[in-house]
Chain A
Amino acid sequence: MNTILAREQLSESVFKIRVEAPHIASERKPGQFVIVQLDTDFGERIPLTIADANADEGWIMLIFQAVGKTTHLLAEMEIGDTIANLLGPLGQPTHIEKLGRVVCVGGGIGVAPLHPIAKGMKEAGNEVITIIGARSQDLIILEDEMKAIADAFICCTDDGSYGRKALVTEPLKELCEADPKPDLVVAIGPPIMMKFCAETTRPYEVPTVVSLNTIMIDGTGMCGGCRVTVGGETKFVCVDGPEFDGHAVDFDNMMQRLGAYKVQEDHDHEKCHLEIAAQKVEA
């Protein structure tokens, strides 16, 4: 179980793996995620969105950026290795329906969870416009896949190394001002990007869905560690989300909670880098 069947490096720090997980593959729907833990005794449990799945062949696909200890170790794993603990599918599936014009905004690694949603929206008969953005060209992922779905496609980089030199909010604002204005915006990416996408669409009253990736432990509603404030109420991202009304999410609180363990995480991450380096020297 949970054997890695295929592995591909998409950019310097972004990886794509296909993992054997027949139950999850047959039950999952777009928007849902899994919890991954590599060491049963001491490892952290982290949520990763299911980027794609094949029920007949019994696998799911995960796309992740090596940013913390677990994702780094995962990036080091090879075909044939197994993931010790894989739980899912978790969370509420994306609500997909025909609305008209849907703008899908993906930032960095957020393009991975966005892809199945954009695909679903297209299949439901919507006009899909995608905007993807990254800091620089080498961090752009799934460009071809997104292009293939989209009726219109816009790519931005912060440094102008590829596509438009702009933040994703720029073209988003233009689309909000255009006629017809979007019926829905789906924005997935770093919290700060989602926050500003929501701010951009707010004056135009364009419904905006965001997908939150908070710290989680169980992923089943048992601990409340993933909680966020939405419209003044407490919600658990793992069971009530991960998608919420971007105009109601308290992003500042969410980002503070996300950064709560930064000092400890950096320490672990640093240690993990040293260990990986040491192993490479030994090998």
Chain B
Amino acid sequence: MKRYSVFAIAREALRYHSGWEKAWRSPEPKAQYDAIVVGAGGHGLATAYYLGKNHGITNVAIIEKGWLGGGNTGRNTTIIRSNYLQDSSAAIYEKARSLYETMSQDLNYNVMFSPRGVMMLAQTHHEVRGYLRTAHANALQGIATEFITPQRVKELCPILNIDGPRYPVLGALWQPRGGTGRHDAVAWGYARACSAMGMDIIQNCEVKGVRSENGQVTGVDTTKGFIGTKKLGMVVAGHSGQLAEMAGFRLPIEAVALQALVSEPIKPCMDVVVMANTVHGYMSQSDKGEMVIGGGTDGFNNYTQRGSFHHIEETLRALVETFPIISRLKMLRQWGGIVDMTGDRSPIISKTPLGNCFINCGWGTGGFKAIPGSGWAMAELMAKGEPGPLAEAFNMWRFKEGQFIDESVAAGVAH
């Protein structure tokens, strides 16, 4: 792999940019690997990357039915934060957030991590109490967050209407080192680094079946034939239920659509991320000037990557109330992704009923922020066969034991 640098740019500028190499190879699958990761979204690619980097396992294939980063990783609104309530959540999301701080250097790929600050508005007394509690919990977890006054909210984001007639802003939970990143670049950066370690990223190859013998996976049937493996990691977000069915077990997961949209680009007008959970919408501004907007999930199982229009209307209604200046903005594009919602709104990083098969899913509406931490924890689980401290609480048997990691109250909105 040729490194990207200011010298590389200068060198290529002098030779008509003829020397750039492909960011990753596109090989045909080998017959057998030490480990296969199904799904080349951020979580699958990060899993493969840390398998190589932290555990020295590089005879790895990442199998993707579409194009890499084409799932939720390339469809999300890129909010990164770690101000969760429960200790096990805070640990893995903060691990991820801190890895984002150095990801561009680590991968030699600019992922445009922008710790511009994330603000979660409190617009009811219930929310004020909830966020005060989260701020105290975060203080104990060593995560820098703070409950701020409406005046401070207005200073940080002048376009915000803090005296709305329905839900005036009563304060906010503020995480100054939260922010956004470039979603595609995260997938591309990991893919390039994986390929450089000799891993095979096999796109346009769908896994159709999981073969096992005596409770151990032997390989997967794909549209490019059978591929053998010693270990299998399933990291397919919305399609996790399908993969689990191929392997013969069920998950506490429903697949539903979540949508996002962007406006026409305008001059810089907000340099923080604002989430308004009571009225149900959130917004940030991209470097291109578009307002990036998201709202709630649909309430029914859906695999079409198309959501219901009335949710867009509800989201925009909420945001026009919160940011009156956007009332005449035109919306340019809108799209949907299929998110994997668990019973307690927390992810699953777990062993499965098959000995050498592991699953990472259930990130639902909020897993972009977790990509590096999740990959780190999943790689450890796959390499050692046992979960490390980051993954332990997220096993899929917690539903039987009643050991929920309940974040549904702490995170009232989809993000």
Q: A and B bound? A: no
